[in-house]
Amino acid sequence: TISMTVIDKMGHIAVGTSTNGATFKIPGRVGDGPIPGSSSYADDEVGACGATGDGDVMMRFLPCYQVVESMRRGMEPLDAARDAISRIARKYPDFVGAVFAINRKGVHAGACHGWTFQYSVRNSSMHDVEVITVYP
């Protein structure tokens, strides 16, 4: 799955997700990819979020909606990302997934559970894409 956030020069935010889902899924199964607030979410006034992992579990918690709403209430991106992941892990200790969070100022962070996660960033102060590894 790719989940992507773009903030333009005016501060307008868009997010998107594209995936072919889980391998050997039961035909008709839909994961979290097309579910608003699960795989991605954005609000110009706050920031955005992207997610990846076990969609069957993640879509039960809408982690990206949670991240954006936590930032709206004042949380920093790192805390918001950690909080969203921990809410899932409390109920599903074997859950595998990750989120990145970015606020409208451009501060970003990631959190994960069950695997090592990487996310990519490019802004105008970088010469090329930088990959950030989120270690277990």
Q: Report the residue from 15, 63, 91, 127 that binds other proteins according to the rule CB under 8 A.
A: 15
Q: Report the residue from 63, 77, 92, 127 that binds other proteins according to the rule CB under 8 A.
A: 77
In the block, residue with structure tokens 């069950």: 114
Rank residues 2 and 73 by Cβ distance to other proteins and give the closer one: 2
Q: Examine the residue annotation and report whether 1 is marked as an active-site residue of this protein.
A: yes
DSSP 35-53: SBTTTEEEETTTEEEEEEE
81 alpha-carbon distance from chain centroid:
8
Q: How far is the CB of 105 from other proteins (least distance, A)?
A: 4
Check 1, 5, 17, 52 and give the catalytic one. 1
Q: How far apart are CA 5 and CA 16, in angstroms?
A: 7
Amino acid found at 48: A
Rank residues 74 and 133 by Cβ distance to other proteins and give the closer one: 133
Q: Does 4 bind other proteins (CB under 8 A)?
A: yes
Q: Does 115 bind other proteins (CB under 8 A)?
A: yes
Q: Does 30 bind other proteins (CB under 8 A)?
A: yes
Q: What is the dihedral of CA 83, 88, 93, 96, to 10 degrees?
A: -100
Q: How far apart are CA 102 and CA 110, in angstroms?
A: 9
Q: Does 91 bind other proteins (CB under 8 A)?
A: no
Q: Does 85 bind other proteins (CB under 8 A)?
A: yes
Rule CB under 8 A: which of 39-68 touch other proteins? 39-44, 48, 50-56, 58
Q: How far apart are CA 7 and CA 108, in angstroms?
A: 12
Show which residues are catalytic: 1
